[in-house]
A and B are shown apart, each in its own frame.
Chain A
């Protein structure tokens, strides 16, 4: 099965009979702008980590098309379960730089209200969010709501038991859930070929999921396929699976050293397929973006970077005693007692 592609690496449009998309200049400019902003933010966060302002950062560099193309194909009411690298998708949902950065600065475990953005908190234990998404979709099904659920995960997470349990359960229960795999080829240092024998989309079909594979660096193809699949889901045609073939251009995290396990030539071959460069070639060739547009996007990127820098240093840090307050919905004597003892201990040092 060839991955669906609507835009080749030279920026030429390749319409696909099964996945129609009304490719307008406005749509392409919008995707370009969103991907540029996501990349700018990601690079700024990387820099902030190197400057000691963030404890850790996990870059989304190279995966902008997979995320922007898919999340914009959903309705704003559709609930999204991210993994932990979905910064581009999060920005598309309106999550702010401060809300995205606070977790990685180490001030809190998460930064945004999931209900407000219909975007769950990040899940760092691989694939654990996939049964959650399945259960959430069971709730949507019971409510008879006109919603579908989108769950992101990666090729590495697909080896987890939870992923395979969720594929099976979602299919058996026929819930309105779209599993979206960003196959970025590397699970830290472990390549896909070490993880599995059967391609992911093929495995998904075995579970009874409506499975598709798409060029994950082609934002138009990702958007067309995700839109089409979401439409089928809404029509009650059963849970689906999209494998987006992409590449993690950066290391797994700021603590990683990808030079130890992969070659420059591999990296170069994927840089040539870069999602932003490809779309820019289309815009240039078609004359869909004038100088004013590019100036405007550049300016927006500069503003976003400046915002990221300034909010990062001012991220609020609550008093430690607040950690006792969010464990339980209803207070317990144990936590109330420990909170009191901690405060008394701290007070004992004051003159």
Chain B
């Protein structure tokens, strides 16, 4: 089984999408001869041609807008937005057009469009290159929102997202692009889950850490460190933010009685609030402590030299774990 970085695993996923679906198209800024700024589309234009791997003008709104038009014509575009902070010019096309055209057309039109977005911090980037804007899109009816955390999921979730019939916002944690793992490309692999299923990445009995994307590794490290304190922590990689696999989440918290949600995005009005509320509604009498949240602060993403203080890390996750146990 090949060992691939997350970047390469998504690349091979895109390659399979282009092979499996003759109408699929990869499009975005610099996705052609450069292979994308993170090399996720490396070599695709050479092998599939400029009609199917399209270097677009630098116009995010129209990257999504033309993808909608291509989808109306029967194509299946997978768009790349170069960085998380560059998606805002495309906001209207995503929120009012891509997400709503199916409902606006009374279900007659269907838009199988995937929008890949490298997301989050941890790479020492300049402003607008480290944002976590998932809550904007989970709040929008008509979109599926998923976030991979490792090479196997990067490969398979991309293939699943690109095989569906609905628009998907596909987040890729850019700090994990260089993480390596074994990736099987054959279908039926045991570890491959349906797109909208959460994954229990570490079993435990005393507290549930709910997280996704770049924070999954951080939470796994925190869970390992907590063993020293005699705490058995379960870590769940949510993977799909919308729709959300509440079944897996609820079952875990019902078992552990404690729950901490961890994400890079600012906490106020963030996705963690949705999880906290949903968990509380479902397992209120099983909770031994309130659902706690660890995330970015409600400031703009800080200059690179401060991102270690801004982003949740091992210590901040463990601090929340301590607070939960101390309740």
| Interface set of A (CB-CB < 8 Å, partner B) | 108-110, 113-115, 120-121, 123, 125, 128, 130-140, 142-143, 161-162, 165-166, 168-169, 172, 323, 325-330, 332-334
Contacts and interface: CB of A to CB of B under 8 A. Distances in A.
- Per DSSP, chain A at the interface is helix
Contacts of A131: 61-62, 64-66, 68-69, 93
Interface stretch (B40-48, B106-114, B221-229): B106-114
B65 A128 contact: yes
14 contacts: A109-B104, A110-B104, A114-B108, A125-B92, A134-B66, A138-B66, A161-B61, A166-B65, A169-B56, A169-B66, A325-B107, A329-B102, A329-B165, A330-B164
Contacts of A123: 97
A162 B73 contact: no
B281 interface: no
Residue from the set A113, A140, A161, A165 with the largest chain B CB neighbour count within 10 Å: A165
Given A143-B73, A166-B65, A333 B243 contact: yes
B37 interface: no
Contacts, number: 132
A135 B103 contact: no
B57 A169 contact: yes
Given A109-B103, A138-B70, A332 B243 contact: yes
B89 interface: yes
B59 A168 contact: yes
Given A120-B72, A135-B66, A162-B62, A326 B106 contact: yes
A136 B165 contact: no
Nearest to B71: A135
A161 B64 CA distance: 13
Given A135-B72, A168-B57, 6 more contacts: A132-B65, A135-B70, A139-B69, A139-B70, A162-B61, A168-B59
B59 A128 contact: no
A323 B66 contact: no
B74 interface: yes
Instruction: Sort A-B residue pairs by CB-CB distance and give the 6 closest, nearest first.
Output: A135-B69, A131-B65, A139-B73, A135-B66, A326-B107, A329-B165
Contact of A165 (B57, B74, B105, B109): B57
Given A128-B65, A131-B61, A165-B59, A330 B72 contact: no
B51 interface: yes
Contact of A110 (B56, B69, B106): B106
Contacts of B62: 131, 134, 162, 165-166, 169
A175 to B, nearest CB: 9
Contacts of B284: none
Interface string B90-134: 001100110001111111111010000000000000000000000
Contacts of B71: 135
